[in-house]
Chains A and B, each alone.
Chain A
Amino acid sequence: MTKDININVHHITRVEGHGNIVVNIKDGTIEKCEWQVPEAPRFFEAMVRGRRYDDIQTIVSRICGICSISHSLVATKAVEDALGLEVTEQTDLVRHLMHYSEQLQSHTLHVGYLAAPDLFGEKSVVPLVPKATEIVLKIVKAHRVANQMSAVLAGRITHPITLTPGGMTKVPTEQELRDLKATLEDCVPDLVDICKAVLSVAGNLPAFDRDTEYVSLKQTNPLYKRTLTEYSFYHGDITSTDCNGDGDMPVNKWESVANEYVVPQSTAKWCKWHRDSYFAGAIARYKNQREFLSPLAKEVEKMFGMTVDNVNPYMNNVCQLIEAAHVVEASLEIIDKLLTKGTKFEKVNVTPKAGRGYAAIEAPRGILFHAYEFDKNGECTWGNCCIPTNQNHANIQKDFEKLVPQFMGEGEDALRQKMEMLVRAYDPCISCSTHMLNVEFVK
């Protein structure tokens, strides 16, 4: 057995911020085992103060390039809650489609470009190309489909420009919807092949179990009962596996779910609800809403032998694949509904008023909370955002505390690999607000 281990997966610039994995084991005794997030505080809430109610979704869409649709949607919902705005069924359906496009974008990208290389024994997707060319090209194609969907519905592949409080500035034409439908139907066999490829190496997912609380939305909107959108990413109350159907929270009480607090090892806030940590993300949504999955998603679930009793955090990646299949079928259902009704531009009239609004939405990497307050002129006086990654920090720490004693006997390299894979399994949103280049000239 290895007596001394020193793991220090560290990032040096605070500008970008990263999660650090720090483990010190001396003479077989664990002296330190920490998930640290030394990220520079972002203070985006301060940036929205003094801005008009219809500027908010544009500003917060820049918090993250990967989850920008979710940030824009949840901000728009929170503004609508504050101003007492109702949206039409068409707006609700189009926003759902837009949101599904981001789930598909993010899940295919995360599983394909970040998790799959681990399972195939490569450091990143680039060296995976010659090793598994056909499957990487299918992942790239699925990613392209999701991008096309975002471009039509959000106006761009990231940082949407079609949302406005009370409605949409653009709705898809029927021809665009028919084209999207054909593209999505064409994508199904590729998705199945991607799942089969991941399944072929799924034995490399570490065998590690730790029971925890799983928090997600749960559908309450009657419009979506007995539809595939009953599996909610967008509407509903906040639930958890510890609620057992009793004690779900309305979204305007999200601060009492997140219970944000600070710890010495991290500049990012941590969260807890009924226990000392909880898990937000695909696995949480799956556990709380499994019965509403689409037929194809249930096929993927069966393929991997996934069950709601599974408490292996690495299976979050498998749940992302299950959800990728689900959102394709749920999108097709909504497209059919929109095509049946026909789409038309709907003018929005908003009268600003004072008020505070709350909203929750499921970003690809977990439940995302926003809240804003406005004065009578519609100027923002207060904002509060709580991202899923912050909600997962405490859970990652608790996983580390169980994982390190279990696997330290395998040596430093194997332990480091398992810890890095664990963090990747949570699909964390760190370092997302900047992607700048840092180069030295070689020519």
Chain B
Amino acid sequence: MKPIIVVGLGNPLMADEGIGVVLVEELSKLAAAGKLPTAGVEYYDGGCGGMYLLHTIADRKKAVLIDCCLMGTEPGTIRRFTPDDVASVKQMAHLSLHEVDILKVIELAKEIGSCPDEIVIFGIEPVAITQQLHLNEPLQSKIPDYIAAIETELLLTDNR
């Protein structure tokens, strides 16, 4: 198991909801081309795995999570934060496992003592979440900026 994992979350069938998956695909291509570190770093398409992702992040030194996020900012905004910086205002009916977001997964990982030592989340504000196979603007044209932000994070990370 590599100590660092970069997980792209979301659903590419749902327009901007899929930004995390789109970005982790780009990051994987860059890593394969030798432009991003691969030693000690795993790039992972987590899709809509919800609670399935517990073991994907568990016991890592650091997890970098990329997800669509309603933050009340301008659409296309990227913001770096940690789980402690935010409170979820997502309303859950607790009727189905399918409604779980990554903050719930982190909560359980903490409770069972398997949480990564460090978690960084890159949240990206969507324009729209609807049935659509492509991203909306400005998210599409901001992909290089998002990649640069995550690349900086990885360059500052000790991947040993």
Contacts and interface: CB of A to CB of B under 8 A. Distances in A.
A62 B48 CA distance: 7
B112 A136 contact: yes
Given A18-B93, A441-B81, A65 B107 contact: no
A436 B123 CA distance: 10
B32 interface: no
Nearest to B84: A443
A162 interface: no
Chain B residues touching A, majority SS: mixed
Contact of B13 (A47, A140, A143, A428): A47
Interface in B81-97: 81, 84-91, 93-97
B45 interface: yes
B13 A432 contact: no
A243 interface: no
A66 B50 contact: yes
B56 A157 contact: yes
B107 A126 contact: yes
Interface in B38-62: 45-56
A438 interface: yes
Nearest to B69: A437
Interface string A132-176: 000011001001100100000000111100000000000000000
B111 interface: yes
A433 interface: yes
Contacts of B90: 437-439
A110 B48 contact: no
A322 interface: no
A438 B51 contact: no
Given A439-B89, A440-B89, A66 B98 contact: yes
A126 B111 contact: yes
A345 interface: no
A64 B71 contact: no
Contacts of A12: 91
A65 B89 CA distance: 22
B5 interface: no
A430 B96 contact: yes
Nearest to A125: B108
A438 B48 contact: no
B69 to A, nearest CB: 4
Contacts of B50: 65-66, 435
Interface in B117-131: 121, 123, 126, 129-131
B97 A440 contact: no
Interface residues of B, number: 58
Contacts of B14: 433-434
Nearest to B105: A435
Interface stretch (A26-34, A228-236, A419-427): A419-427
B131 A437 contact: no
Interface size class of A (residues with CB under 8 A): 35 or more
A365 to B, nearest CB: 9
Nearest to B95: A423
B88 A437 contact: yes
Contacts of A427: 96-97
B117 to A, nearest CB: 19
Contacts of A11: 91, 93
B6 interface: no
Contacts of B88: 437-439
Contacts of B104: 124, 126
A113 B121 CA distance: 24
B11 interface: yes
B69 A436 contact: yes
A434 B100 CA distance: 9
B9 interface: yes
B110 to A, nearest CB: 9
A13 B70 CA distance: 13
B102 interface: yes
A428 B86 contact: no
Given A110-B97, A431-B98, A129 B112 contact: yes
B99 interface: yes
A441 to B, nearest CB: 6
B131 A435 contact: no
Contacts of A125: 108
A433 B87 contact: no
Contacts of B107: 126
A46 interface: yes
Given A47-B13, A110-B97, A420-B95, A436 B70 contact: yes
Given A431-B98, A433-B13, 9 more contacts: A66-B50, A126-B107, A136-B112, A143-B54, A157-B56, A159-B49, A424-B96, A431-B96, A435-B9
Q: Which 6 A-B pairs have the closest CB atoms?
A: A65-B48, A432-B98, A439-B86, A438-B90, A437-B69, A158-B49
Interface of B: 9-14, 17, 45-56, 67-72, 81, 84-91, 93-104, 107-108, 111-112, 114, 121, 123, 126, 129-131, 133
18 contacts: A9-B95, A11-B91, A13-B91, A15-B130, A18-B93, A18-B99, A109-B97, A126-B111, A129-B112, A130-B111, A140-B114, A158-B46, A429-B96, A432-B98, A437-B90, A438-B69, A439-B90, A440-B87
